[in-house]
Every structure is written in C-alpha cells, then in structure tokens.
Amino acid sequence: MTDHDHITRRSAVTAVAATAALLPLAGAATAHAQGGPGPRPFRHGVASGDPLPDGILLWTRVTPTDEATPGSGRGPAVKVAWQVAKDERFATVVAHGSVTATSAADHTVKADVRGLRPATTYYYRFTADGQHSPVGRTRTAPAAGTSPGNVRFGVVSCANWESGYFSPYRHLAARRDLDAVLHLGDYLYEYKSGEYPDFKYVVRPHSPAHELLTLADYRVRHGVHKTDPDALAMHAAHPVIAIWDDHEFADNAWKGGAVNHTPATEGPWARRMAAAKQAYFEWMPVRPSVAGTTYRRLRFGTLADLHLLDLRSFRDQQAEPGSGAVDDPGRTMTGRAQLDWLKTGLARSDTAWRLVGTSVMISQMAFGAIPAHLLGPLADILGIPKEGLAVNTDQWDGYTDDRRELLTHLSDRGIDNTVFLSGDIHMAWANDVPVEAATYPQRKPVATEFVVTSVSSDNVDDILHVAPHTVSLAGVAAIRAANRHVKWLDMDSHGYGVLDVTAEHTQMDYFGVSDKTDPNATSAPLRSYRTRSGTQQMERADGPVGA
C-alpha cells in the first residue's frame, strides 16, 4: 500500500458538513467562502494539479484591490511568492519562488514546481501584500519505475451551480487516501440564469446572469465556482487532474460551433471558443501538453498510465440521431493526430493498467427491436446505423468509426487492462466494452468503462420532478435489455466515484449524496464494480475499498 492513512468504511461514507470533518487546510479555505467573498488578496483559494513524480502545478488567484474582480481587467500587477513544505507549519520548506499576477491573466498565477520527491505529500501556500493564502495539501506521483501498492483517485463530472450544491467535492476533500481527483468535464455551465434548470428550480443563482460569450463572462463564472466552499475544500485538499467537455464552452460544442451558439447574434464561434479556453487555462490547475487542448498523459509508477482526451477541439459536428452518418469514416471526434497519439500511447504502455479519461461515454448505447446479428446486413441495405439506433450522438455513439478503430486497435494488438473513465451523461454506469455490441458476450470485451454521475446537474428524476428510482426503473430495464454489456445503471443519483488501482484490479466505488439541494448532504455507497487484471470483464465487488 502507499503511505496513505487507512480509511474505514465508516469514515468514507459518513463525512458531513461540519468543518471539523474536513482537513484543517481545507477548512481554512472553506472559511474564506462561507462568510462571503473573503478578505483580499486570496478570495478564490488555492489549487494544485497534474502531479508528476518530481513536481506539481500550483495555482491561485490574487485580488490586489477591491475593484480587481474576476473579468474586470482592473487592478495593478502584484508579486506573489510561493512555498512548498513537508509540513503544514512550513518548518521545512523544500521549494520556493515567485510569480507576478497581472490583469492580463485575470490575476491568476501558476507555479510549475519541480525537484520534489515522488509519492510524497506536500503543503503549499502563496504570499502577497504580506498576507498568506490558505494552506493547500498536494501529492506527487509515484516514480516511473516503482510499484506502489495502489493509487486512488476521486472521480467527478458535471457540476452545475444553479442545480445544487457541490457536496461530492466536500466528501472527497474529507478523505485522506486519494492521490488526486480526476474531473472529467463540465466543471461549469455556460447557460444564462434560469435556463438549466428553469428559474423556479434554481437552487442558487450564478453570475453573470446572462449566457457566457466573452472572455470576461467566462472569467466571472470561473470566479464564482472558485468561491464555492466545497470546491475550495476539494482543491485545497487534493491535486485535481481536469479535462474539459462541452459546457466549459457551450452545449454540444464541436470545432466549428455548438448547439448553444448562434453566430448571427452571438458572434464568431472561434472567438467564443478562444475566450473560453483562455479563461479555463487561467482558472484551472491544468498543464497543457498540446497548446490549446487538454489531451495529455500522466504516469503513476508501474501501475497506470492515464491518457486524458480533448473531445471538443477537433470533432466534427454531431450527426442527427438515427442517421447513418454516425458511421461515416470521414467524420471524427478525436481528430487524426489525437487518435494516433492515443493508439501509440496505449500500445507502448508498460504499466499494469491503461486508464483513459474520456469526457463522454464510449460504450455503445442503442435502442430498437432489431436482433443484434442483423444490424450489420441491414445497415448496408437500408443505411441505418450499424450498431443500432444511436440515441446520443454527442458521445462516441455518434462517431463509430473512431470508436471502431480504437477498439479494434486494442483487440488486434492484444492490449489488455484498458479502463475508460467517463462522465457527461449525469448517470452512473458500469460497462464492459466490446468491439461490437452484437458480438457480446460471445466475443470477449476489449475494455471496461466506469461512468460517474453528475455532481449536481439534473438527471432523470430531476427533469421529471418525481421521486428518485421510480419512473427511471423502466428506462434502466429497457437500456440493459438492449445493451447486454451494461452491467449496472443508476439514472437518478448524484455523487462521485473513487477508483482504486492495484496490480490485481481496478475498482470503482460509486457514492451518492442524500440531496443535491442540501448544502449539508450526506454520502453513502451505491455500488462497487471491479475489473480483475487480464480478464477485461467487470464484476460486482462487495463494497468500497478499505471497508
């Protein structure tokens, strides 16, 4: 095992809102936000991300004057010092330096710290105008050639401010056993206030009240999210590894536009996307490996390579649902360069597991009464989709040639122990991933997939305004009947996942929160699923790791 503190089942599922339940350092960040905007200059807390064996990326935002609010373009430049220490009291400082916060970067700063020891917990802080920031806790990755007993990640996606509170972040902040938190996209939403959800269901209004279009707009919304007490606590407690999905830009974004973008009234898409990307890189603790994207690769000893995808910057426009265009080999979601990069990385990986962070679900999800073995022939004759009627063409179902090339690559090259980690769909899924759904289970799947539900964004019971796990049960039954590779599906819960990776298995523990509209929501385990090394098939586990 790593040097994490042991976590019991009770401590994993009963963390509650009291500040005492959080890490002391996370509690300091929480205190900043609970009383309003907090004192200058560190109103937006601290964060770290993208852990390396010898380094970590540190982030903060400085407010040098009261008028220097996010997106304002106001405020003087200010020198910001940073320190990294072995202890919370900073008795043993191991690295230090300084950066300058300017209005050109919305007074956000990053320090890419190197020279640290692998698999080690560190504490960090910033100083400006004689004041210290809250103390953050972070952790470096295991050294490339070492074999830690395990690595463990919190996993989240889809946090809509107006839909509810971010209690899943608080429960992850309370855990001492995580190497990092993986955020799979939709860290924020671009909608105007009262659009999603409707005004009468808004739990707390966000800013700006209008839809995000300009650089200032996106900066303001990011700033709002960095005042949430649970977000502050999570960022202060763990390094965050983030990728974006569509709502960091606009609903169903693709390289040339979005469903929620009208050029005639909202201006060129390229300008809006550039503004959204700039604000994202300013406000998120992300170290881009390819300029302007979030696809990159991190390694965790000999246990896992983590391949992180950008599925918005290069994709073609979504096909119409039910259209044979989903099979068009001329359409792509990944782009040629990114797909080749992923295939090469998977083939060359020498770790026990290959993890792929994909913002949208890769597993097939189809409806229809046509027997699976007839779909191929009928597709050729009638022009229907080869893998059944694709309901959600925004996910990999809408780009089947990319998916087929990737999954066939895994099969042909004998690449095993591949696990996809996904979000976006506001539901929790546990799936085997066959090359073709029609051949399952006769043909062994080539990967497995864990899909986490939303932090707060509406799912089936929220949209229908019914009691959870009532109306949705019919939908669960229909989806599982048509998709035998789906082992489990929960359409209604909100929460998070905890992924445990050892040489022998990967296990996802799914947790749900009691009520997304309650800032003090409790957490409880929903299900646990495990993939054993060499099997490429999922099985239900007895309960959360460490229970």
Give the mean model confidence (pLDDT) for residues 235-248: 98
Give the mean model confidence (pLDDT) for residues 113-134: 97
Closest CA to 395 of 499, 492, 293, 315: 315
- Return the pLDDT at 547: 55
Does residue 263 sit within a domain? Answer: yes
Burial of 535 (0-12, 13-18, 19+ CB in 10 A): middle
- Return the pLDDT at 382: 41
Does residue 2 sit within a domain? Answer: no
- Distance, in Å, from the CA atom of 168 to the CA atom of 214, rounded to the nearest integer, reads 30
- Return the pLDDT at 6: 33
Q: Is the pLDDT of residue 522 over 90?
A: yes
Q: Is the pLDDT of residue 7 over 80?
A: no
- Distance, in Å, from the CA atom of 355 to the CA atom of 346, rounded to the nearest integer, reads 9
Q: Is the pLDDT of residue 283 over 90?
A: yes
DSSP 2: -
pLDDT in tens, 296-320: 999 999 999 999 999 999 999 999 8
- Return the pLDDT at 1: 39
pLDDT in tens, 35-77: 344 567 999 999 999 999 999 999 999 999 999 999 999 999 9
Q: Which domain holds residue 76?
A: 9-540
Other CB atoms within 10 Å distance of the CB of residue 143: 18
- Whether the CB-CB separation of 119 and 142 falls below 8 Å is answered with yes
Of the pLDDT bands very low, low, confident and very high (cuts 50, 70, 90), residue 17 is very low
- Return the pLDDT at 344: 98
Q: Which of 209 and 20 is assigned the larger pLDDT? A: 209
The string of DSSP letters for 47-85 reads EEEEEETTEEEEEEE---STT--TTS--S--EEEEEEEE
Of the pLDDT bands very low, low, confident and very high (cuts 50, 70, 90), residue 438 is confident
- How far out from the chain centre does Cα 488 lie? 20
- Return the pLDDT at 8: 31
- Distance, in Å, from the CA atom of 190 to the CA atom of 56, rounded to the nearest integer, reads 29
Under DSSP, is residue 360 helix (H, G, I), strand (E, B) or coil? coil
Q: Decide the pairing of beta strands 46-52 and 55-61.
A: antiparallel
Q: Is the pLDDT of residue 419 over 90?
A: yes
Under DSSP, is residue 154 helix (H, G, I), strand (E, B) or coil? strand
Give the mean model confidence (pLDDT) for residues 275-287: 97
Tell me the residue ranges of DSSP E strands in 175-319.
Answer: 180-183, 240-242, 296-300, 304-308
Write down the residue that tokens 């290959």 correspond to. Answer: 354
- Return the pLDDT at 388: 55
Does residue 530 sit within a domain? Answer: yes
Does residue 128 sit within a domain? Answer: yes
Quote the percentage of the chain above a pLDDT of 90.
80
User: In the predicted model, what is the mean pLDDT of the chain?
Assistant: 89
Does residue 1 sit within a domain? Answer: no
How many domains, the chain?
A: 1
Does residue 522 sit within a domain? Answer: yes
- Return the pLDDT at 282: 97
Give the mean model confidence (pLDDT) for residues 145-171: 97
pLDDT in tens, 314-373: 999 999 877 789 999 999 999 999 999 999 999 999 999 999 999 999 999 876 544 444
- Residues in contact with 46: Cβ distance below 8 Å, sequence separation at least 6, in sequence order: 29, 58, 59, 60, 124, 125, 126, 133, 134, 135, 136, 235, 236
- Return the pLDDT at 367: 66
Lowest mean pLDDT among 164-178, 359-373, 395-409: 359-373
Backbone angles phi, psi at 24, to 5 degrees: -55, -40
Counting DSSP H helices and E strands in the chain, the numbers are 12, 24
Other CB atoms within 10 Å distance of the CB of residue 9: 13
Quote the percentage of the chain above a pLDDT of 70.
88
Give the mean model confidence (pLDDT) for residues 264-286: 98
- Distance, in Å, from the CA atom of 272 to the CA atom of 260, rounded to the nearest integer, reads 12
Does residue 121 sit within a domain? Answer: yes
Q: Is the pLDDT of residue 12 over 80?
A: no
Hey, what are 163's tokens? 């839909």
Of the pLDDT bands very low, low, confident and very high (cuts 50, 70, 90), residue 482 is confident
Does residue 546 sit within a domain? Answer: no
CATH at 115? 3.60.21.70
